[in-house]
Amino acid sequence: MSAALSAWWSGLGRAQSGQLPVSGENWSAGSTASSVRVFDQALVWVTVALLAWGLVMVYSASIAMPDNPKFARYAHTHFLTRHLFSLVVAVVAALIAFQIPIATWEKMAPWLFVVSLVLLMAVLIPFIGKGVNGARRWISLGVMNFQPSELAKFSMLLYAADYMVRKMDVKENFFKAVVPMGVAVAVVGLLLLAEPDMGAFMVIAVIAMGILFLGGVNARMFFLIAAILFVAFGLMIALSEWRRERIFAYLNPWDEKHALGKGYQLSHSLIAIGRGEVFGVGLGGSVEKLHWLPEAHTDFLLAVIGEEFGLIGVLTVIGLFLWMTRRIMHIGRQAIALDRVFAGLVAQGVGIWMGFQAFINMGVNLGALPTKGLTLPLMSYGGSAILINLVALAVVLRIDYESRQLMHGGRV
């Protein structure tokens, strides 16, 4: 009797602190009626912190852009206003997404994947797709530009999770379990490379690989897939002159040949981070954002953070993304422990997506990786990315909500 009372009290204490019990623990529905949070509040607040900090930094990084003749017709608050509008739209979309049961997302997964393929093809059609700096990646919606590759990341992880659930009985068979998924990734990859958008293709390939591995594909098959992708990306770089130039510029951005070409962004990103030292030059004090560092409000926002907030600011951003990724992966593991395999794989897919894309963006800004056109999730300027990122996180919160309902003795 005393042992049972002790177990009940331990479970109640974890509920009050927001910690989830693992599957198999004794959990009394009556003991948790009012004390347990219905969703992960800490994850929400970390997301809000990243969004708010990103909004401030987008304004700081873009405030001087109208002084450039190229942007002379813009107001100093142009990018701030558009980013704020994107945030409002994204929050509304996330609130709607949270209301949709995970079972409905599972049914929609194949259809959403088809929609993303259609949009990826549509963006390549003249007068539909919008080109910027030689890349055709956007569809104009009037009030904002939509980037189909962002939807493709989300739809791919839903489709991959649904695919693995359907293929559980043949997951040891390479041709039955892996080849069809490989074909789907290849089709998406070819459409993305036609834009071109190799960065998005890399993220999608890693999401698909991660879900295959977490879904139970054996190690031999996983390493075979990894080797194929490694060779494929190597060939893409070797056969493309401008991609080779990016690699050479990354290896020596200070070389006279690269300093004003492919290595220009990287060299000025490193200068910005170097100027910040430990504590930074202060909010708004960045010099590199004054027409020296291109795309400071999008791909190189972390460089401005490093200059204005120093090493402390960069480490804080890294810490927030590490915590977020770890928490999302935990929510996925908890769902799988409750025999909700699709939900668990989706959550872990979102964790892989957020973690990997943040890692690539940070690596590029810090000079650890070659320049790649990937934004910093939740923080960089970009309406499509903010919209899809928040919808994905809303789905993760829905997964957590349904898991908690099950653990409290309810139904989803």
- Going by pLDDT thresholds of 50, 70 and 90, the confidence category of residue 142 is confident
Residue 6 has pLDDT above 50, yes or no: no
Mean pLDDT value of segment 120-124: 91
Chain-centroid distance of CA 268 in Å reads 25
Report the pLDDT value the prediction gives residue 23, as an integer from 0 to 100: 40
Please indicate whether residue 394 or residue 293 has the higher confidence score (pLDDT). Answer: 394
Give the dihedral sign, CA 401/407/411/412.
Answer: positive
Burial letters 241-260, b for 16+ CB under 10 A, else e: eebeebebbbeebeeeebbe
Average pLDDT, the chain: 84
pLDDT tops 80 at residue 280: yes
Q: Which tops the pLDDT comparison, 165 or 18?
A: 165
Distances (CA, A) of 16 to 28, 38, 47, 335, 400: 14, 11, 22, 20, 16
Closest to 23 in 3D by CA, of 395, 340, 381 = 340
Residue 319 has which token pair? 């810490």
Q: Smallest Cα–Cα separation from 382: which of 56, 82, 171?
A: 82
Per-residue confidence band for 404, with pLDDT thresholds at 50, 70 and 90: very high
| Predicted local confidence at residue 395, as pLDDT | 97
> What's the pLDDT band for 182 if we cut at 50, 70, 90?
confident
Lowest mean pLDDT among 29-38, 108-117, 305-314, 337-346: 29-38
> Of the candidates 403, 405, 334, which has an alpha carbon nearest to the alpha carbon of residue 32?
405
Distance CA 185, CA 152 (A): 10
Q: Which of 8-12, 51-55, 56-60 shows the lowest mean pLDDT across its residues?
A: 8-12
Query: Among the listed ranges 212-221, 228-237, 401-410, which one has the minimum average pLDDT value?
Result: 212-221
3-state DSSP of the chain: CHHHHHHHHHHHHHHHCCCCCCCCCCCCHHHHCCCCCCCCHHHHHHHHHHHHHHHHHHHHHHCCHHHCHHHCCCCCCHHHHHHHHHHHHHHHHHHHHHCCCHHHHHHHHHHHHHHHHHHHHHCCCCCCEEEECCEEEEEECCCCEECHHHHHHHHHHHHHHHHHHHCHHHCCCHHHHCHHHHHHHHHHHHHHHCCCCHHHHHHHHHHHHHHHHHCCCCHHHHHHHHHHHHHHHHHHHHCCHHHHHHHHHHHCCCCHHHHCCCCHHHHHHHHHHHHHCCCCCCCCCCCCCCCCCCCCCCCCHHHHHHHHHHHHHHHHHHHHHHHHHHHHHHHHHHHHHCCCHHHHHHHHHHHHHHHHHHHHHHHHHCCCCCCCCCCCCCCCCCHHHHHHHHHHHHHHHHHHHHHHHHHCCCCC
Of the listed ranges 128-132, 202-206, 209-213, 286-290, the least confidently predicted one is 128-132
Check residue 142 and give left, alpha or beta (phi > 0: left; psi -120 to 50: alpha). left
CA distance 59 to 80: 5
Q: What is the pTM of this model?
A: 0.86
State phi, psi for 380 to the nearest 5 degrees.
-70, 155
Using CA of residue 196, residue 202, residue 208, residue 209, what is the dihedral sign? positive
Residue 261's pLDDT is 74
**Structural domain boundaries of the chain?**
49-99+263-412, 108-239
| Straight-line distance from the first to the last Cα atom of the chain, in angstroms, rounded to the nearest whole number | 32
pLDDT for res 407: 87
pLDDT score recorded for residue 73: 84
What tokens does 271 get?
């200068």
- Token pair of 227 as six digits: 């080797």
Q: Going by DSSP bridges, is the β-strand pair 129-132/135-140 parallel, antiparallel, or unpaired?
A: antiparallel
Contact 83, 60 (CB under 8 A): no
